[in-house]
Chain A
Amino acid sequence: MLNRLLFIVVLTVTALMVTSAVNASPVETFEFRDEVTKVRFQALSKELRCPKCQNQNLADSNSPIAADLRRELYELLQQGKADSEIVNFMVSRYGEFVLYRPRVSSITYILWFGPALLILIGIIVVIIILRKKSTVKEKLVLSAQQQDKLQQLLQTNKVDASQNSNTDKKEKE
């Protein structure tokens, strides 16, 4: 019950934070030719990083340079430029840095393939550990000789136990 209440509180707080973040976005009015261009604008302004305020994208930031770049982005879209052309335009001026999703190149290999590599290493480690455990189990299997001895011990134990129980019963009687 308490858990559920906590969950609801966290959910509302997060929802509030999200809506207030939306409210904080800079307001500009752009008229788009069609819905597709609008969606492309929104997508690109989220993917491109503001060069001045480095932890914000163009859509988020209200710094003058971000406003300029949004306007430039809008104009490039109105000119009918393709997404890749627009990205190239930005990269040739501000460097790879403006891309939140960096291109695959020799310096970004570690970014792109690092996580997969780590997961792979993790899987390998888990497999090795599991293998080791199963070999330990195999060692626990008794040899024929040991099995015999175990049987003997158990039997003598049983005999003892039955005798004991017999004596117990007798005592009770």
Chain B
Amino acid sequence: MNKVIRFLPLILVIALGVVLYRGLSLNPQDMPSALVGKTMPDFSLVTLKDANRTVTKADLVGDIVLLNVWATWCPTCKYEHPYLLELANNAQLKPYVKLYGINYKDELLPAKQWLTHYEDPYQFSIFDEQGTLGLDLGVFGAPETFVIDHHGIIRKRFAGAIDTRVWRKEFEPLIKQLISEKQQGK
């Protein structure tokens, strides 16, 4: 008994070391969204390309939705853009998954130019100049991507750029699951 007590400090220090070492490899930006499992918040905003067209939540609900937050001031969005085009043109996904954009806290003209210059992967982009929809979604930067199911419930939030590796790891299984849920009429 006494011997065990003598080694107790050493054991405690080692345990502490293990905990702290593990902390080094955790990504502090990777936090669960408070909105996962909740319905998509209501909004009423104009689209980026057509200032006369007002879109609401009803325009999004029904399909499996990828909602991508982007802006011209965000370099990572530029990196992500080609892969979004690839996703939008993916023949397997096309019948089920719709990609929409939120142009987050951006200027109208450069944003429009971005879409003509780099091509437009989105069904439409919501022009969220003040960041109000972003605030309701708990967005704190760009790019961020939300997965919304056909009932309008947010199923996933991902902060950071999507590329092939991220898509396979983070999105593909969920999208497959959602497609089968929709087909089963759940």
Q: Are A65 and B34 in contact (CB under 8 A)?
A: no
Q: Is the CB of B131 within 8 A of A68?
A: yes
CA distance A69 to B131 in the complex (A): 10
Chain B interface helix/strand/loop/mixed = loop
Q: Give the number of residues in B that approach A within 8 Å (Cβ atoms).
A: 15
User: Taking each of A65, A68, A69, A93, which has the highest tally of chain B beta carbons within 10 Å of its own beta carbon?
Assistant: A93
Known interface pairs A54-B28, A64-B105, A68-B131; A95-B33 also in contact (CB < 8 Å): yes
A95 and B140 within 8 A (CB): no
Chain B residues near A96 (CB-CB < 8 A)? 34
Query: In whole angstroms, how far apart are the Cα atoms of A111 and B105 in the complex?
Result: 37
A95 neighbours in B (Cβ, 8 Å): 31-34, 138
Which B residues touch A51, using CB under 8 A? 138, 140
Q: Does B91 contact A (CB under 8 A)?
A: no
How far does the Cβ of A90 sit from chain B's closest Cβ, in whole Å? 9
User: Which residues of B from 74 to 112 have beta carbons under 8 Å from A?
Assistant: 105
Cα–Cα distance between A65 and B31 once the two chains are bound (Å): 16
Interface assignment of B141: CB less than 8 Å from any CB of chain A: yes
User: For the complex, is B136 an interface residue (Cβ under 8 Å from A)?
Assistant: yes
Q: Which residues of B contact A65 (CB under 8 A)?
A: 140-141
Tell me whether B179 is interfacial, beta carbon within 8 Å.
no
Contacting residue for A94 out of B34, B105, B131, CB 8 A = B34
Closest to A97 in B: B31
Cα distance A94–B136 in the bound complex, in angstroms: 9
Extra 19 A-B pairs, beta carbons < 8 Å, given A51-B138, A94-B138: A51-B140, A54-B29, A64-B105, A65-B140, A65-B141, A69-B135, A91-B34, A92-B35, A93-B34, A93-B35, A93-B135, A93-B136, A94-B34, A94-B140, A95-B31, A95-B32, A95-B34, A96-B34, A97-B31
